[in-house]
Structure 1
Amino acid sequence: MTKNRLPKTLRALVATAVGLVSLGIGTGAAAVESAPAVTLSPASMAVAEDDVTVDISQSAGFLTGASALTLTVTVENSTEAELVAGTLAIQSGVRAIESRTELTDWLAGTGKTRSDRAVTTVAVPALGPGVRHTATPITISADILGLPDQAGAYPLDAQYTADATVVNAPETIVFTPDATDRPLGVAVAAPITAPPGSTGLLSADALAQHTLPAGVLTRQLDGLIDRPVALGIDPMIIASIRALGSAAPASAVNWLDRLSRATNETFPLQFADADASVQAQAGLAGLLNPTSLLYSLNPENFTEPVTPDDETTPTDPLATEDPQGTPDPTDPTATPSPTPEPGEPTLPTLAELTEWPYTTTGVVWPDRDTVRAADLPVFSASGATTTIVSSSNVTTEKGYTPGAAGTAGDASVLVTDAVASAALQRAATAGTTEQQLDALADLAGQLMVIASEEDAPARTLLLTLDREWPPTGSRLSDAITALSAMPTVSSTALSAAGAQRAEAVAIADAPQSPERIALVKRLTTREANLASFSTMLAEPALLTGRERAEILALLAVSWRDDNDGWTAAASAHDTQTTTTLESVSIAATSPILMVSNQSSLPFSVRNELDYPVTVVLQASSSSLKLNVNSSVTQEIPANARETVRVPVEARLGNGEVTVQLQLYSPQSAVIGESALVPVTVRADWEGIGAAILVVLVSLLFIGGLIRTVRKRRSDPRAASETTDSDAPATADDTGKR
């Protein structure tokens, strides 16, 4: 373990903080990183602020009576000055540490525990700035350390001295004469989650990436499958793979198949591993769940081709009939057989997408140190029967470390040991073997002290792995294997841990930040606005289902480690929601001139959604000069602009009128902003125009008649013919006739 030299005042503050936590349950998250014991002389004060570290690595997590292990000690000078040649003294104590408070004090460099037995001393050469020196490995055994024949965690210390610089690195060595003595049950729970996102479901590309041999989902499953670990599975991962249908990456399908055959205990996390406590603290009556994933389903990925009827397929291999029904190209009368149409797609339901044979349900697992006592009734109202909380989030009156099973008021809880869980997490995510061994040594010391606590009944601890992904599946697997092999440890199922006698604990309220709570409130408020907006659609779930899934993704516990990224993702989602709410509106309309008593005024409505919508356009007049007969309901195609005509009638003369327009959904939800359109009413222009037209036609007729008469009178032949025709007939004329 790396030990940093700290000023004495800082060490006192650290020790005080850790001690206060330990008053509650005997452990605290602040005790995870061991602080060093530092001895400074006045001559060394000049380098007291600089970083000189001593690191002890143990080759094994514990020592048995017949075995030995090696210590590797490293000294690093990160100062800007050279350190003179010095010595490294290894010392041990012969009295076992009896309580977690004593263990915390020892690792913090305070308390009364002593390492007063000299083991060995080795020389350390002069160290220049930035130089690191590793001493020759030191072999130790129970005899060399002078340990009594009693199992326990014993003090171990490496003290580096160079002139006036003195740095102590307190450690523990776990010793058990009988490695088969395992009175302490230990259950482990781990989450199966993907990196946080904001899309509600994982895309095909993301799934392909995560399920590669080195992908995060593969690493988790490789390290945990068929191990004594209960798996908290994010249902979003399962739904994401199934929602892709035939387009799901083969690696993702294989991953899901492996998970289905795992022998681990399993329970569901919240969808997208949404943070339960922030939902409760945002004032929600119950935890959010997905409502629909219809928006993500492509019917083409769920269509199976129609296969020919087996009875019509020839079985005789010598048969001349074409089993595929292909027509003979030499037969002019042959008609081609129709190509079989694909089968009708059957889209899976939400229940089918998220269904999984969990061994346990009703478990809520909020992030560590985020729960208030007032949150538990919200969890219960949402169907939770058990809440997993960190030991640093509860207090107890017991003088020993309580077991996992507990009750907080009327609610059942599973209490995880914060310090031991942190050590296991560091072992699972260690970058090097030395770092992993260091973390496992810390974990073994914690568990040995817990097992040795006086007056403690037989009990089972719960350790959890955090929402952090291991560098390799083997590193994670090695950590679980090492835990199971530790002295005093008996691997236990999560269900067995919860079935033990529960002890009363009190929730030490640890509220979420006001900023995070405020953002969740805004997300849920905007969701309600979108729900009203979506009533224009034949399938409102296409919008509401997407919105709910994306909100759940934004509430993922993993986002808490990336506050800047989470804020940016939430802001982008808020912008997207605003764009959606503004995607259907009344387009800008120019002033209208109305010249008839009755008319239909045209107004334009735009729809920028990818789905058709049905809107109701309601118009109202600012004056009695214009009467609007009724509202108009019309469907607007996807990504289109349509003209909606509203019948109107002019009354009481002419003038300027303002028409107010408002869109509604068929369920009377207000859509978008209202619009004002100026209309100039000139209804009498219709009569005036008709009269003018009649006069013009009459004038044209009369003018034509007059012109015809004048033309006839001015033509001599026409006049002669007219005179002859008017003279009386003579006798000769009569005779001729």
Structure 2
Amino acid sequence: MPSVSRFRARPLLAAVFALGLLGAPAAGGTAAAAADDAVELTPATVDLFASPREPVLHDDDSELQIDVLVGNPGEQPLPETAVEVTLDPRPLETIDDLDGVFPEHPIELADAQIGATAAETDQRVTVTVPRDRLPFTSATESGVYLLRVALGAEADVTVPLVWQGAASTGRAGASAEAPSVRLGTIVPIVLPSDIFTLPTRSQLEELTPGWSDLLDEARAAQATLAIDPRVIAGIRAYGDEAPEPARQFLARLEASTLSSFLLQFADADPSAQADLGFTALMQPTSLDFVTRFGSFSADDDTGDDTDAGETPGSSAGEQGGDDADPPASDDATNTGDGTSPGDEPASQGGDAGPTEGDQSDGEPVPTQQTLEQLLSWDATAAVAWPAEGSADQGTLELLRLANIDAFVLDSDNIDRASGGPRVSLEQGSALITDAALADAARTALSAPNEVQRAAGVSRLSAHLLLAAQNGSEDLVLGLDRGAVGDAEDPALLVEQLRALDWVAPTGIADLDEGEALLRGSDTLEERRELLRAAVGRESSVSELGAVLVHPEYLSGYQRARLLELFATRHAAPGVDFDEVASRYRERDAELLEGVRAITTERMQLVGATTRVPVQLHNSLPFEAVVDVQVVPASAALAVQEPRFASVAVPAEGNERVLVPVHSRLSSGEPGLVVTVAATSGDLTVFTGTLPISIRSGVETIALVVLGALASLLLGFGIWRSVRRRRRASALARSGTAGGEADDSGQRAGARVTAPAE
């Protein structure tokens, strides 16, 4: 798509040659100056994106603003250069012209200087074109024109400019003669990509305002809703504990008169399942690992008004299970594939789900809602929506076995079509969405920067205007499910399209019928094999539920994760599924560790009898209860208490068992064989040897040395005490004798001196 294409720089000679062919003058106005500019620029990699700031230029607008984004992913800086904007004055005639060749003699509109771009950075500049520089007057008919934005000789990009003249369609409303195209829209109600099962309560609070706005715009556009059952189950799973705004939104969704259908749980792709040879669509097995955090009134019927006899999710809902990744805690953020926040996808919230300690009122509340009740939905139709371009006869056959004979297919999946978008196929009926519109809408929703997103809106507007001017048949826009889930404000795009004067929002049921033939396709081989490997590991992971307090939690959790891995969002263009599958595989590896003894460095025994600590680690996201058996690896040790029954290990936590051990040798390198098994005895999850070093002789020597030191200290202390007492007694006696001598001396002296006086 030219408006958002990423252009790589050309070598210097090629750049000058291309510039000469196009005849595009440089910012200075001469070809020579352009060549000089090209010489100054260092051949390097350049990313160039451009788009009108507003998708439509109206007759009463005073200027045209074009945003230009220059990216430098290279290691060398890009020098200062000029950005030049030119216009093809001829209006485009067909939709194919959007990707046409820019003419040799365009009209120069404006230029701007852009400073040097440092390595691995980008910068944005706005080029403003005054109204009087544009070749449009109030009498100019509405139309689509091509703009060319060039970065010196390094890169260029063409973008559509939609002009809406007062002569044909005034801003106050379209005239009776103004052409328009009837547009049906499919609006997904889905979860963002960082939630791998069900949202936490705090996430529901964050998501509900956006869902509510999207529902409002969908109603105004007479759109059809495609609902991920995780949204419904995610709110119902908490019962009375669900945030009030979320419960209100669900009530509005249930009461809506818009046509709707359920996606497979987590929007799992039925085409991928068919390519793997499945004979039935995958189903969820349990949501108990999430509903344990909810509370349900005695008369609570999950809040839906459906008849008790309805099947869960209608036929459309049966396509997929309920992919509910429990929230690790109410405030945790579900990220990564069940890994922790630190490593993008463990247990901080990701796929790991809520821990046993995260409970509503001190104790987990027993589940009172069945899977059928959580997924029950009064959908107006049973419809399947495979990944774009992926459906084939095998896909439709698998869906037929699930009692689904209505499909949403994109135009790239159709070999020949005529008439309206509602067509009949041998296997049932289909609604054909326009692939080009969907691609532009995907860019408008999910492009990484504002300039590219605006380019997507501009291309959508241009496409629809050209369709209206050419008397196009009815069109259907199926908004990309992954892009809608991750977009900041998807309702804004629906509003922008609905506001176009040449677009007539129309309900799907009112669109024209036509004819079409299915074009065969299949899932990419690499994606298919990665999915096959993940399916093969599911039973191994679920088997470990035998060590849990609630074994059904793990099987339900793992199936939910698997359904999400099958999501159509992972089949979208530009998605690195190998990376997605790698994160999933890493999480599987963590789960497959189950409950195990942690073996660290060799532990030393310096006494004949001691209590050896055995550390148990639970890699599972739910509380485990296991039996631990410890036996000596050799006759050098004797274990006095070899079995520890029903040891509780917290979810993704540790527990220590103290094992009394008696050593029979003064030294050696024996070990303890630790076995961890389910309390039922049916499954052993770990067997390993804990290395031990015996140094009991060291204890004897140490005791002798300590005893000798103690005896010496005691004898020395006694000797010092005796000596101190003797010295004190001697001083006391000598002090007394000296005092008496002094007194007698004084008396004698007195007698001697008295006669002399």
TM over 0.5: yes
Assess, with a 3 A threshold, how the Cα gap between structure 1 residues 2 and 102 changes in structure 2: closer, same or farther: closer
CA distance in structure 2 between the aligned counterparts of 1:547 and 1:160, rounded to whole angstroms: 51
Of 184, 190, 197, which aligns to 1:187? 184
CA distance in structure 2 between the aligned counterparts of 1:543 and 1:165, rounded to whole angstroms: 56
Q: How far 1:270 moved relative to its partner?
A: 0.8
Runs of 5+ unmatched residues, structure 1: 13-37, 306-343, 592-602, 611-637, 643-662, 664-670, 676-737
Of 479, 482, 493, which aligns to 1:467? 482
CA distance in structure 1 between the aligned counterparts of 2:587 and 2:366, rounded to whole angstroms: 34
What SS does the corresponding residue of 1:190 show, helix, strand or coil? Answer: strand
Of 492, 496, 512, which aligns to 2:510? 496
- What whole-Å deviation, never above 9, does each CA across 1:27-75 have from its counterpart, x for those lacking one? xxxxxxxxxxx99959837747435676654354335667665233548
CA distance in structure 2 between the aligned counterparts of 1:532 and 1:87, rounded to whole angstroms: 62
- What whole-Å deviation, never above 9, does each CA across 1:522-561 have from its counterpart, x for those lacking one? 4545556789999999998666545433432343334564
CA contact (8 A) 1:185 1:459 kept: yes
After superposition, residues 281-292 of structure 1 pair within 5 angstroms as 281-292=275-286
- In the other structure, the counterpart of 2:168 is 178
Of 128, 147, 156, which aligns to 1:156? 147
| Paired amino acid for 1:505 | L
CA contact (8 A) 1:210 1:218 kept: no
Which protein shows a greater Rg? 1
What SS does the corresponding residue of 2:532 show, helix, strand or coil? Answer: helix
- In the other structure, the counterpart of 1:361 is 381
CA contact (8 A) 1:189 1:231 kept: yes
Q: How far 1:492 moved relative to its partner?
A: 1.5
CA distance in structure 2 between the aligned counterparts of 1:566 and 1:295, rounded to whole angstroms: 24
CA contact (8 A) 1:91 1:158 kept: no
- What whole-Å deviation, never above 9, does each CA across 1:117-147 have from its counterpart, x for those lacking one? 53x5445447444596846622448982379
- Indicate whether 1:61 and 2:51 are aligned: no
- What whole-Å deviation, never above 9, does each CA across 1:480-526 have from its counterpart, x for those lacking one? 122112243111123334xx313213325142343x43344345455
Of 218, 231, 235, which aligns to 2:209? 218
CA distance in structure 2 between the aligned counterparts of 1:543 and 1:304, rounded to whole angstroms: 27
Q: How far 1:273 moved relative to its partner?
A: 2.0
| Paired amino acid for 1:218 | P
Q: What is the aligned length?
A: 521
Q: How far 1:268 moved relative to its partner?
A: 0.8
- What whole-Å deviation, never above 9, does each CA across 1:212-233 have from its counterpart, x for those lacking one? 3xx2453243234334232221
| Paired amino acid for 1:552 | L
- Indicate whether 1:391 and 2:411 are aligned: yes
CA contact (8 A) 2:626 2:679 kept: no
- In the other structure, the counterpart of 2:567 is 556
- In the other structure, the counterpart of 1:80 is 77
Assess, with a 3 A threshold, how the Cα gap between structure 1 residues 609 and 508 changes in structure 2: closer, same or farther: farther
| Paired amino acid for 1:240 | G
What SS does the corresponding residue of 1:357 show, helix, strand or coil? Answer: coil
CA distance in structure 1 between the aligned counterparts of 2:530 and 2:148, rounded to whole angstroms: 48
Of 351, 374, 392, which aligns to 2:372? 351
CA distance in structure 2 between the aligned counterparts of 1:508 and 1:195, rounded to whole angstroms: 30
CA contact (8 A) 1:92 1:115 kept: no
CA contact (8 A) 1:232 1:266 kept: yes
CA contact (8 A) 1:208 1:251 kept: no
Assess, with a 3 A threshold, how the Cα gap between structure 1 residues 210 and 542 changes in structure 2: closer, same or farther: closer
TM-score normalised to structure 1 length: 0.58
What SS does the corresponding residue of 2:513 show, helix, strand or coil? Answer: coil
Q: How far 1:412 moved relative to its partner?
A: 2.9
Assess, with a 3 A threshold, how the Cα gap between structure 1 residues 62 and 590 changes in structure 2: closer, same or farther: closer
- What whole-Å deviation, never above 9, does each CA across 1:685-737 have from its counterpart, x for those lacking one? xxxxxxxxxxxxxxxxxxxxxxxxxxxxxxxxxxxxxxxxxxxxxxxxxxxxx
What SS does the corresponding residue of 1:247 show, helix, strand or coil? Answer: coil
- In the other structure, the counterpart of 1:279 is 273
- In the other structure, the counterpart of 2:464 is 447
Q: How far 1:87 moved relative to its partner?
A: 7.5
CA distance in structure 2 between the aligned counterparts of 1:57 and 1:252, rounded to whole angstroms: 37
Assess, with a 3 A threshold, how the Cα gap between structure 1 residues 192 and 4 changes in structure 2: closer, same or farther: closer
Q: How far 1:285 moved relative to its partner?
A: 0.8
CA contact (8 A) 1:207 1:252 kept: no
CA contact (8 A) 1:406 1:414 kept: yes
- In the other structure, the counterpart of 2:723 is none
CA contact (8 A) 2:67 2:451 kept: no
- In the other structure, the counterpart of 1:382 is 402
- In the other structure, the counterpart of 2:241 is 247
- In the other structure, the counterpart of 1:100 is 95
Which moved further from structure 2: 536-545 or 43-52? 536-545
Assess, with a 3 A threshold, how the Cα gap between structure 1 residues 604 and 196 changes in structure 2: closer, same or farther: farther
CA distance in structure 2 between the aligned counterparts of 1:391 and 1:47, rounded to whole angstroms: 43
TM-score normalised to structure 2 length: 0.57
CA contact (8 A) 1:52 1:167 kept: no
What SS does the corresponding residue of 1:572 show, helix, strand or coil? Answer: helix
CA contact (8 A) 2:111 2:127 kept: no
Q: How far 1:575 moved relative to its partner?
A: 5.4
After superposition, residues 127-146 of structure 1 pair within 5 angstroms as 127-130=115-118, 134=125, 137-140=128-131, 144-145=135-136
CA distance in structure 2 between the aligned counterparts of 1:543 and 1:80, rounded to whole angstroms: 52
Q: What is the percentage of aligned positions where both structures have the same residue? A: 20
What SS does the corresponding residue of 2:466 show, helix, strand or coil? Answer: helix
CA distance in structure 1 between the aligned counterparts of 2:180 and 2:257, rounded to whole angstroms: 25
Assess, with a 3 A threshold, how the Cα gap between structure 1 residues 248 and 529 changes in structure 2: closer, same or farther: same
- In the other structure, the counterpart of 1:572 is 587
Q: How far 1:424 moved relative to its partner?
A: 2.3
CA distance in structure 2 between the aligned counterparts of 1:222 and 1:71, rounded to whole angstroms: 29
- In the other structure, the counterpart of 2:715 is none
- What whole-Å deviation, never above 9, does each CA across 1:273-331 have from its counterpart, x for those lacking one? 222222111111121122443454449833659xxxxxxxxxxxxxxxxxxxxxxxxxx
CA contact (8 A) 2:386 2:409 kept: yes
CA distance in structure 1 between the aligned counterparts of 2:89 and 2:236, rounded to whole angstroms: 58
- What whole-Å deviation, never above 9, does each CA across 1:166-210 have from its counterpart, x for those lacking one? 8464534344643323431112223222235787x52xxx43232
- Indicate whether 1:458 and 2:454 are aligned: no
| Paired amino acid for 1:356 | W
- In the other structure, the counterpart of 2:654 is none
CA contact (8 A) 1:189 1:230 kept: yes
CA distance in structure 2 between the aligned counterparts of 1:590 and 1:377, rounded to whole angstroms: 56
Runs of 5+ unmatched residues, structure 2: 15-30, 300-364, 597-619, 633-641, 650-676, 688-757
Assess, with a 3 A threshold, how the Cα gap between structure 1 residues 263 and 67 changes in structure 2: closer, same or farther: farther
CA contact (8 A) 1:93 1:116 kept: no
- Indicate whether 1:426 and 2:443 are aligned: yes
Of 301, 318, 324, which aligns to 2:295? 301
